[in-house]
Chain A
Amino acid sequence: MLTLTVDNKDKLDDIIITEDTILNIKLDNCSEEINIDVMDNMCLEVFEIDDDTSNEINYNLRSNAQVIVNKLARDNSDVTTVNMSGENASIKYYSNMMNYRDNTYRFVVNHRANYTNSEVYNHCVNFADSEFKFLVDSNIDREAIECFSNQDNEIIDMGNGKNFISPNLIVDNDLINANHSAYIGKFKKDVIFYLQSRGLTEIDCDLLLIKGFLLGKMNLDEKLLEEYTNFIITNFK
């Protein structure tokens, strides 16, 4: 398995995945265009930590390509586009945000080939009174049959933010399976009561729930879990 690391210290070239790869992306305070082309039958796992970015990230998945993206970010206004151009391509995309300023995160997945599979999980904790938007489009072309597309979008509001989710399924085909969901709200009162009844302070509860919400779905090994957790703790205000 090849391991690549990408950061914005140098000029970013297009990335072509020609063997099974782990890609570590660390970007801060930048606005770049990144193109990632995953060739036939290749597996790619991405571990991405971004701080204050508004990048344009484009994935192209060819036949039987399999991609998992584990993204954690603070103040993110990226535009991510995933083109499923080859048959049987699949992607699991976990985007997890900590938000303090006005931001819009846009995600587009285009199913352009048969039997393609996308699972998109967008989670954000909005800490401030700022505005946060998830604009998520899943497009399934008329020619792409027997596709599966799932979107799960959630924003937890810790302050009095203005939050907005637009979870769109644009489907031009009957032979597909598609789901979408959107939730905006606070952590549930009975959950807070349960944790506090075991002696956890309000701050302990918030941190535990935020970590669970942002990292719970991703499959991180011990080292990465520590790195992602440290990012949350550092940015938890």
Chain B
Amino acid sequence: MLKIENLSVKIDDRDILKNFEISINDGEVHAIMGPNGTGKSTLSKVIMGSRDYDILSGKIIFNDEDISSLEVDERSRKGIFLSMQSPISIEGVTNSEFLRTALNARTNEPIGLFDFIKTMETSMKELDMKNDIVHKAINEGSSGGERKKNEVLQIKVLKPSFIILDEVDSGLDVDSLRVVCENINKYREENPKTSILIITHYPRILEYIKPDYVHMMVDGKIVKTGDYNFAFEIDKSGYTELVNE
């Protein structure tokens, strides 16, 4: 599914990712944990194609294709989805118009209004969202929890094959976190080849979406990898102690 080889990235004069490597197969869930400022969110934006960073070396291979030079929208249409840490609000652009445009951008035939409304209604009900959100501007006046649910709504509608969840658990209360994770798990069941990369500080989300691999990232690269239990070891011991081992 996704393979990153020898990726080095900087912003301004600061090196962020240093010979970063990871390989994620179809259907796998990987989690990356690491201290603040270690490059986790940079990694997610670079995979998505952000031009805010200078790529010094390396390749991003997605489904056996080098996508390093592709634009953000091209990567999205290939099936990559970044659920953002702090989803922004966009004045004047309604969720409905935005999602219909996004859906139409990835199909040859425009989706009919009836099918679109049906898809939206089912997904919103599963996410315990109010129906009027479709006519509201993207995330305008929404709480942190509502914004994260809106990200998952987009996943359910756009149907990506590789999902990056960048701190999806931040700003969510326990009930909302459960709803969000249940919906992501349901999506995985319906689309078993979907791979997920979870970026988080806390193991709580991993109790809901169980990862196959947990990576500890420090100073721009992965320094240790373990299974699900490694997340709790990190939580118990802290990054400094594990790095010094």
| Interface SS of A by simple majority | helix
A216 touches B137 (CB 8 A): yes
Near B by CB (< 8 A), chain A positions 22-65 give none
Q: What residue in chain B is nearest A208 (Cβ atoms)?
A: B93
Given contacts A190-B88, A193-B45, A213-B91, 6 further A-B contacts (CB under 8 A): A194-B84, A196-B73, A197-B49, A197-B73, A202-B73, A216-B91
Number of interface residues of B (CB under 8 A): 29
Measured CA separation A70–B242 after assembly (Å): 63
Measured CA separation A191–B101 after assembly (Å): 15
Q: What residue in chain B is nearest A123 (Cβ atoms)?
A: B92
CB distance from B148 to the nearest CB of A (A): 14
Say yes or no: is B106 at the interface (Cβ < 8 Å to chain A): yes
A195 touches B71 (CB 8 A): no
CB distance from A112 to the nearest CB of B (A): 33
**For A193, what are the chain B residues with a Cβ–Cβ distance below 8 Å?**
45, 48, 50, 72
**For B93, what are the chain A residues with a Cβ–Cβ distance below 8 Å?**
195, 208-209, 211-212, 216
- Beyond A204-B105, A212-B137, whether A198 also contacts B92 by CB under 8 A is no
- Beyond A199-B73, A202-B73, A212-B92, whether A194 also contacts B87 by CB under 8 A is yes
Show the binding face of A for B, using Cβ within 8 Å.
189-191, 193-202, 204, 208-209, 211-213, 215-217
CB distance from A178 to the nearest CB of B (A): 23
A212 touches B101 (CB 8 A): no
A208 touches B105 (CB 8 A): no
CB distance from A212 to the nearest CB of B (A): 3
User: When each residue 198-217 of chain B gets 1 if its CB lies under 8 Å from chain A and 0 otherwise, what string results?
Assistant: 00000000000000000000
CB distance from B31 to the nearest CB of A (A): 21
Measured CA separation A194–B81 after assembly (Å): 11
**For B99, what are the chain A residues with a Cβ–Cβ distance below 8 Å?**
198
B105 touches A200 (CB 8 A): yes
